[in-house]
Amino acid sequence: MPRGQKSKLRAREKRHQARSEAQGAPDAQVTDAAEEQPSAAPFPPLGGARSQDEERPSTSQAQPSTDHYRRTPLDDKAILLVQFLLRKYNMREAITKEDMMKYVIKKHKEHFHEILRKASELMVLAFGIDLKEIDPTRHYYALVSKFQHTCDNRLRGEEIMPTTGLLMTILCVIFMKGNRATEEDIWEVLNVMGIYADRKHFIYGDPKKLITQDLVQERYLQYQQVANSDPPRYEFLWGRRAHAETSKMKVLEFLAKIHNTVPSAFPSWYEEALRDEEERATARFAARLRMGALASVHSRAHFGSFSHL
């Protein structure tokens, strides 16, 4: 075998061996996703605040090219770190900087923050999960879902779903498109991610069925005919569970994370997300008042029934 081919084979074997160190339940999906789609940002560069002041950027703008993308050692470390984090989660073990440095980062200690940033972006994109430092003194971290299933949205139990990142992407496109997005808009973005309506996907199976049936039946999405369209065209809106379990601000944070910026870099969407947060807070407060009033009435009625004995 020529020397060049031997060296490539040895390098490939070393990468495979390194990956096996952090192997966990959902790990193969993360590794395969990185291999098949190395530059996985689902949205084109939006130009930040400037482009929003002038015009709402469309998802049909030129997409970032992956032709010249080359994985670096730091990218490989980031993938290993994602696998390590998922393994820690599956084993219900604490996530600490010390363990990350010891078992994953190793000799790349000076690049810890860069590797952590890349891993965090992968976690958001693949699973809709944020990695957050919950104890800055001892450097403890937690996985935080973009979907709030409980009052504390730190992940508990078996909540990591491979469809979450895809769902967040779809919800983001819907939000960007004025809270409703045509089927063409959705597939235009998903095609950039290597997800096609007529092609089986190694994680999502049948993407068209997942999006137009499964997520609709689970009430995360609404799928309906565009009014007065002839021939018929279809559009997506947020479903009831999406409204209940996530928010426009979380979706905007998802978009900002992908572009390594902050939600306020998209002023008009940020303002809309803030209004949504205020409306949610008002609704929660009103609900508490109603519950308090009902509890008070029930308490008085209960006390009155005893007073007549």
- Helix ranges (DSSP H) in the chain: 3-21, 27-36, 48-54, 73-90, 97-100, 112-127, 164-176, 183-192, 207-209, 215-217, 240-245, 248-258, 267-307
Q: Residue 213, Cα to own-chain centre: how many angstroms?
A: 20
| pTM score | 0.64
3-class SS at 153? coil
pLDDT of residue 204: 86
Q: Is the pLDDT of residue 36 over 50?
A: no
User: For 114-123, 127-136, 141-150, 194-203, which range has the lowest pLDDT when averaged over its residues?
Assistant: 141-150
Could you tell me which of 56, 78, 177 has the C-alpha nearest to residue 125? 78
At 147, is the pLDDT very low, low, confident or very high (cuts 50, 70, 90)?
A: confident
Higher confidence at residue 59 or residue 292? 292
Higher confidence at residue 127 or residue 79? 79
Q: Are 223 and 236 in contact (CB under 8 A)?
A: yes
d(CA 45, CA 18): 33
pLDDT of residue 125: 80
Q: Are strands 221-225 and 234-238 parallel, antiparallel or unpaired?
A: antiparallel
Per-position b or e across 202-240, b if 16+ CB within 10 A of its CB? ebbeebbebbbeebbeeebbbbeeeeeeeeeeebbebbe
